Amino acid sequence: MADLDHTRAYYNDFSRWYERERGRGYHGMIDDLELSVAEPFARGGRVLEVGCGTGLILERLARVASHATGLDLSPGMLEKARERGLDVHEGLATALPFPDDTFDLVCSFKVLAHVPDIRGALGEMVRVCRPGGVVLAEFYNPWSLRYLAKRLGPAGRVSDRRTEAEVYTRFDSPSDVRSMVPKNAKLLGFRGVRVLTPAAVLHRLPGLSRALQVAERALVDSALSRFGGFLVAVLEKHPVAG
């Protein structure tokens, strides 16, 4: 319980700074790339985003889905998501408060890397997905330039008193992810977000930022996708046997 309280307090503090850099530059590019992966599966369907934060991605998914729902453990994050008029709930990735087989798409971005019980979270995401539906599970990838930057650089600030070093963080390679896939799902493949960008600061240089954005869009679904700093596993829940 103490660890959970610490994590909740961390994200409540983070919620005050969370959108300071979002929607432009590097962070805008990451959001756009993640949306490019999720939107084809979200279109016309029932969507759940696990770890929705302030609702920046969920709001955009809601424009193409028949209904979009979000879940987060942080009341501070959820307050901002509710201000956007979104349907969001407080809860944990390892105990989703939804019935079996509810959603056509279940997705999670930048969240599972901070969940110690990763198998429990993946199992829950697959449980609430309908048979034949899709789960998009994003991991932090040690086979990436981003991993090197995180290992060599200082911890980023998330508020005036906290840094990223204060929250549990895991890195899982493509082979690690394959070993975690629940038995009632199959891995269809990976999408790679942030394959070439070695440091976010490079996106402050307009010409270089534009070139990197073009390259990153081209590499999301390429042979190099497995080297994305944000590795998105595309899982399909096994259809009901007929």
| Domain architecture of the chain: domains with CATH | 2-237 (3.40.50.150)
Overall average pLDDT of the 106-127 stretch: 98
Residue 84 is given by DSSP the state T
Question: pTM here?
Answer: 0.96
Element containing residue 214 per DSSP (H, E): helix 206-219
* CA–CA distances in Å: residue 196 to residues 22, 173, 208, 209, 221: 20, 17, 12, 11, 13
With a pLDDT cut of 70, the percent of the chain lying above it is 98
Q: Is the pLDDT of residue 101 over 80?
A: yes
User: What pLDDT is recorded for position 92?
Assistant: 98
Mean pLDDT of all residues belonging to the chain:
95
User: What pLDDT is recorded for position 206?
Assistant: 87
User: What pLDDT is recorded for position 240?
Assistant: 74
Q: Is the pLDDT of residue 29 over 70?
A: yes
pLDDT tens-digit readout, 175-223: 999 999 999 999 999 999 999 998 889 998 989 999 999 999 999 999 9
With a pLDDT cut of 90, the percent of the chain lying above it is 87
Q: Is the pLDDT of residue 1 over 80?
A: no
Measured on CA atoms in the order 209, 166, 107, 227, is the torsion positive or negative?
A: positive
User: What pLDDT is recorded for position 241?
Assistant: 65
Confidence of residue 116 (pLDDT cuts 50, 70, 90): very high
User: What pLDDT is recorded for position 143?
Assistant: 97
pLDDT tens-digit readout, 58-84: 999 999 999 999 999 999 999 999 999
Q: Is the pLDDT of residue 164 over 80?
A: yes
Overall average pLDDT of the 74-97 stretch: 98
Q: Is the pLDDT of residue 36 over 90?
A: yes
Beta strands 185-193 and 46-50 are: unpaired
Tokens of 75: 């009341």
* Residue 210, Cβ density class (10 Å: 0-12 exposed, 13-18 middle, ≥19 buried): exposed
Confidence of residue 242 (pLDDT cuts 50, 70, 90): low
Beta strands 87-90 and 67-72 are: parallel
User: What pLDDT is recorded for position 20?
Assistant: 87
Residue 19 is given by DSSP the state T
